[in-house]
């Protein structure tokens, strides 16, 4: 950050107006906005208006690249290039039931690659990896950079929270976007994710860009544009970046909720688990290994139990007890299938909202989450169901939440005649490099 920068070099009101009216900023102006906001020269209400203008008008590459570079430059930039092995990270744009990181990090570490996995907390209907792992008694994600480095050498993987000095402009701006309806913007999402990933010091990055009702990007076209934008920013900053597009119109796997998802991830590490979780984990693992030129077969490593060994070491290294029983909810309620037929639709957003209402997510950043709350699925799209059979089990410690969860699920389930039911679409929808 150039602290000698003149706060009055540009007029923030002129820059907001210009973007609002469809004009463009120079690279220097885009850089200045981030530097001035980080330094506290731009007020939150001005930045909110500017974010809304970006939401409607977008940003060109000439604006977004210096904007993202300034976000990286405003904080620390870690460097693992002297480590004894390559580094690669994965980032998902956020979904429902997405426990992939829990399996993928130890799996790729067991293949001989270091995985400095920077993770976040859930907000709104999407779950956060840190919240999930914190349901393991004793586990903590607030490691400093020396601890991360040591763990990468000893275990091969670390799942950690972003420190306050990593891309501090994103920390401020994301909190503002969250309360001003400006999250779902391609340039704002791309710069937010990529600034943290570039600053974290990974050599390569594989993105899992989610598409569908439970994702920020609802259609394939906008997901592909987001993927292309992030791949361009990453590659331009020297991080080899590849993106997979994956379906998020229905939850991933059979659980949405913190401890419920840890339990399912452990089932996958033990060689079982739902097919969709295994498929996406292996596809992302193959991309991560290819990105750093390591030849290993992740399916074989998963089947051998070596990924499970790494998981246990990773959990222990971060203070957790991999053998401790996971919390279970005090109360459960069952939602049954409305009729005989094939489950054609099980809406990701509705299930995510139900899990959130049950206590798995938070309303404000400061809120606690319930470790055991969430939704367990007894069927997935394409399965045959009978009227009255259990379809979902709702878990919570606070039963007064059941009504809101049930209301969120109204209209979420579609059961069709087997002769006319549409077959479930593919999980993997594209690749951008």
- Report, in Å, the least distance between residue 197 CB and ligand URA: 9
Query: Is 2 part of the annotated catalytic residue set?
Result: no
- Report, in Å, the least distance between residue 396 CB and ligand URA: 26
- Report, in Å, the least distance between residue 313 CB and ligand URA: 27
Give 15 or 209: the residue with its C-beta nearer to ligand URA. Answer: 209
Among 170, 208, 276, 347, which one carries the catalytic annotation?
Answer: 170
- β-bridge partners, 123: 126
Among 119, 145, 191, 192, which one carries the catalytic annotation?
Answer: 192
Tell me if 321 sits within 8 A of 315, measured CB to CB: yes
**Site residues for ligand URA per CB under 6 A:** 93-94, 174, 183, 188-189, 192-193
What CA–CA distances, in Å, run from 309 to 103, 219, 269, 323, 390?
11, 38, 9, 12, 34
> Quick one: which of 353, 92, 57 has its CA closest to 185?
57
Give 168 or 327: the residue with its C-beta nearer to ligand URA. Answer: 168
The conformation of residue 385, written as its DSSP 8-state character, comes to E
Give 182 or 396: the residue with its C-beta nearer to ligand URA. Answer: 182
Tell me if 39 sits within 8 A of 4, measured CB to CB: no
Query: Is 170 part of the annotated catalytic residue set?
Result: yes
Among 177, 263, 310, 312, which one carries the catalytic annotation?
Answer: 177
Residue that has been written with the tokens 């973007």 in this structure: 19
Tally of residues, the chain: 433
CA–CA dist 280, 191 (Å, integer): 25
Beta strand 115-119 with 157-161: parallel, antiparallel or unpaired?
A: parallel
Provide the H-helix boundaries in 155-237. 168-178, 186-199, 220-236
Q: Which residues contact 259 (CB under 8 A, 6 or more apart)?
A: 132, 135, 326, 327, 328, 371, 372, 374
- β-bridge partners, 115: 157
* H helix count then E strand count, the chain: 16, 13
Tell me the residue nearest to ligand URA as measured from the CB: 192
Query: Is 177 part of the annotated catalytic residue set?
Result: yes
Give 183 or 353: the residue with its C-beta nearer to ligand URA. Answer: 183
Give 119 or 135: the residue with its C-beta nearer to ligand URA. Answer: 119
Give 94 or 157: the residue with its C-beta nearer to ligand URA. Answer: 94
Tell me if 111 sits within 8 A of 235, measured CB to CB: no
Query: Is 91 part of the annotated catalytic residue set?
Result: yes
- Report, in Å, the least distance between residue 130 CB and ligand URA: 12
Token output for 40 = 């506290």
- Report, in Å, the least distance between residue 188 CB and ligand URA: 6
CA–CA dist 122, 131 (Å, integer): 7
Among 19, 89, 90, 91, which one carries the catalytic annotation?
Answer: 91
- Report, in Å, the least distance between residue 187 CB and ligand URA: 10
CA–CA dist 120, 364 (Å, integer): 14
Among 125, 196, 240, 395, which one carries the catalytic annotation?
Answer: 196
Give 206 or 391: the residue with its C-beta nearer to ligand URA. Answer: 206
Active site residues: 91, 170, 177, 192, 196
């Amino acid at each position: 950050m150039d602290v000698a920068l003149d706060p009055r070099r540009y007029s923030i009101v002129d820059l907001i107006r210009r973007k609002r009216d469809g004009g463009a900023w120079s690279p220097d102006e885009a850089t200045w906005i981030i530097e001035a906001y980080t330094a506290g020269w731009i007020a939150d209400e001005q930045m909110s208006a500017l974010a809304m203008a970006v939401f409607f008008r977008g940003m060109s590459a000439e604006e977004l690249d210096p904007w993202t570079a300034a976000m990286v430059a405003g904080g620390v930039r870690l460097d693992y290039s002297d480590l004894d092995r390559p580094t690669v990270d994965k980032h998902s744009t956020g979904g429902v039931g997405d426990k992939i990181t829990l399996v993928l990090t130890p799996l790729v570490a067991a293949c001989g690659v270091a995985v400095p996995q920077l993770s976040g907390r859930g907000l709104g209907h999407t779950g956060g990896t840190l919240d999930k792992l914190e349901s393991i008694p004793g586990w903590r994600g607030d490691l400093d950079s020396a601890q991360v480095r040591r763990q990468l050498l000893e275990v091969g993987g670390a799942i950690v929270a972003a420190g306050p000095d990593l891309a501090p402009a994103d920390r401020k701006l994301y909190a503002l976007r969250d309360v001003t309806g400006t999250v779902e913007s391609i340039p704002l999402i791309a710069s937010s994710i990529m600034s943290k990933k570039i600053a974290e010091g990974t050599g390569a990055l594989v993105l899992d860009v989610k598409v569908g009702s439970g994702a920020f990007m609802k259609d394939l076209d906008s997901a592909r544009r987001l993927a292309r934008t992030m791949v361009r920013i990453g590659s331009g900053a020297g991080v080899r970046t590849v993106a997979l597009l994956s379906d998020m119109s229905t939850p991933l796997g059979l659980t949405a909720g913190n401890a419920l998802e840890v339990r399912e991830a452990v089932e996958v590490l033990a060689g079982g688990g739902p097919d969709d979780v295994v498929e996406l984990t292996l596809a992302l693992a193959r991309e991560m290994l290819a990105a750093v030129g390591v030849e290993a077969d992740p399916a074989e490593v998963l089947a051998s139990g070596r990924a499970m060994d790494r998981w246990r070491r990773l959990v222990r290294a971060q203070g957790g007890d991999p053998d401790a029983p996971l919390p279970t909810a005090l109360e459960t309620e069952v939602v049954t299938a409305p009729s005989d037929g094939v489950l054609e639709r099980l809406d990701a957003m509705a299930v995510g909202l139900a899990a959130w209402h049950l206590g798995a997510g938070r309303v404000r950043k400061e809120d606690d989450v319930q470790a055991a709350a969430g939704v367990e699925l007894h069927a997935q799209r394409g399965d045959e169901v009978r009227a009255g059979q259990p379809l979902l089990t709702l878990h919570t410690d606070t039963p007064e939440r059941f009504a809101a969860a049930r209301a969120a699920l109204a209209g979420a389930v579609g059961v069709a005649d087997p002769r006319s039911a549409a077959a479930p679409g593919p999980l993997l929808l594209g690749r951008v490099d």
